[in-house]
């Protein structure tokens, strides 16, 4: 359904990611695992066309994606960045509404349905996003990405810097998104437990490229592999 091939790119002439290839099937949850600085975030930005230098192709349902970031979002890629980056001086409602209208969705209906999925946000509807806690902002960033009606949801380290109880909540939300709404999900993570909770298989990154692909069972049974690749 979603495929990257021969992806290279970075912020200057010397590439951060090199010759990455991966696929995600419909309704799958796939994780990209790796230590800090192995290129996970850069790969996410590559998929969103946010890198100054890049080569290779990204396709969704067999179609090569447009060259610009906004075009890729409209083609069906939802993006939750590392560090959340909600619009701080806009309310919770506005953060969701702006994403909906940018992608020609009905803002009112989108907000209603997302508020019923994320009741925590509806209690804070009129609050400025900048005044929310980290976990709340993470949930808002997810709702905002969903407001663009994506077919594939990208999440970059959704558990980073968030208190453990909320991490569990986020894992449940993602699972229910996948199971009840058939959302296809690709996430980059270093939190192994969180990733194994929700994903069925994983790619492991090191030195800017994918060094191994493994199913959940393989990862759970082969602790040595994990230690070697992730340093955990």
Partner 1 sequence: MSSVAILLIATLGLAVIFGLMGVINLAHGEFITFGAYAALLASGWGLPFPLAVGFATVSMALYGVLVERLIIRHLYNRIFDTLLATWGLSLVMYQAVVLTFGSVTPGIGMSPANLSVGDYSVSWYILFLILVAVFLILLTGLILTRTNYGMMARAAIQDSTMASAVGIESGRINTMTFALGSGLAGFAGAILLPAFPATPSMGFAFSIKAFLLVVVGGPVTLTGIVSSGGALGTIASVVANTWTTVLGDIVFLMATMLLLRIFPKGISENWRIKL
Single out the residue of 1, 3, 102, 175 in contact with partner 1 (rule: CB under 8 A): 102
Single out the residue of 5, 6, 64, 131 in contact with partner 1 (rule: CB under 8 A): 131
Token pair listed for 59: 């396709």
In the complex, the smallest distance separating the C-beta of residue 162 from partner 1, rounded to whole angstroms, is: 19
Q: Between residues 25 and 112, which has the closer beta carbon with respect to partner 1?
A: 112
Pairing of strands 201-206, 17-24: unpaired
Tell me: does residue 145 bind partner 1 (CB under 8 A).
yes
* 154 touches 47 (CB < 8 A): yes
- How far from chain centre, in Å, is Cα 206? 19
Phi, psi at residue 99, to the nearest 5°? -70, -40
Number of residues that bind partner 1 (CB under 8 A): 30
Element (H, E) at 117: helix 107-117
Hey, what's the torsion of the CAs at 71, 177, 60, 229, to 10 degrees? 110
Q: Which stretch binds partner 1 (CB under 8 A): 95-103, 116-124, 132-140, 224-232?
A: 95-103
- How far from chain centre, in Å, is Cα 135? 15
Tell me: does residue 90 bind partner 1 (CB under 8 A).
yes
Tell me: does residue 70 bind partner 1 (CB under 8 A).
yes
Q: Give me the residues that bind partner 1 (CB under 8 A), please.
A: 48, 50, 68-70, 73-74, 79, 81, 85, 87-91, 94, 97-99, 101-103, 107, 128, 130-131, 144-145, 147-148
């Amino acid at each position: 359904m979603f495929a990257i091939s021969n992806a290279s790119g970075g912020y200057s002439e010397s590439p951060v990611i090199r010759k990455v290839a991966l696929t995600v099937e419909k309704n799958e949850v796939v994780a990209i695992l790796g230590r800090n600085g192995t290129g996970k975030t850069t790969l996410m930005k590559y998929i969103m066309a946010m890198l100054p230098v890049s080569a290779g192709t990204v396709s969704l349902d067999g179609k090569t994606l447009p060259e610009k970031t906004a075009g890729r979002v409209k083609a069906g890629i939802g993006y939750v960045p590392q560090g959340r980056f909600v619009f701080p001086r806009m309310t919770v409602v506005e953060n969701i509404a702006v994403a909906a209208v940018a992608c020609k969705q009905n803002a009112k209906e989108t907000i209603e349905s997302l508020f019923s999925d994320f009741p925590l946000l509806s209690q804070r509807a009129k609050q400025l996003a900048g005044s929310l806690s980290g976990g709340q902002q993470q949930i808002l960033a997810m709702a905002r990405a969903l407001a663009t009606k994506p077919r594939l949801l990208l999440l970059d380290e959704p558990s980073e810097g968030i208190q453990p109880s909320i991490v569990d909540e986020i894992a449940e939300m993602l699972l229910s998104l996948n199971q009840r709404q058939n959302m296809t999900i690709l996430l980059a993570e270093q939190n192994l437990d969180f990733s194994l909770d929700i994903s069925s298989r994983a790619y492991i990154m090191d030195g800017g490229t994918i060094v191994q692909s493994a199913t959940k069972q393989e990862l759970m049974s082969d602790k040595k592999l994990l230690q070697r690749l992730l340093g955990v």
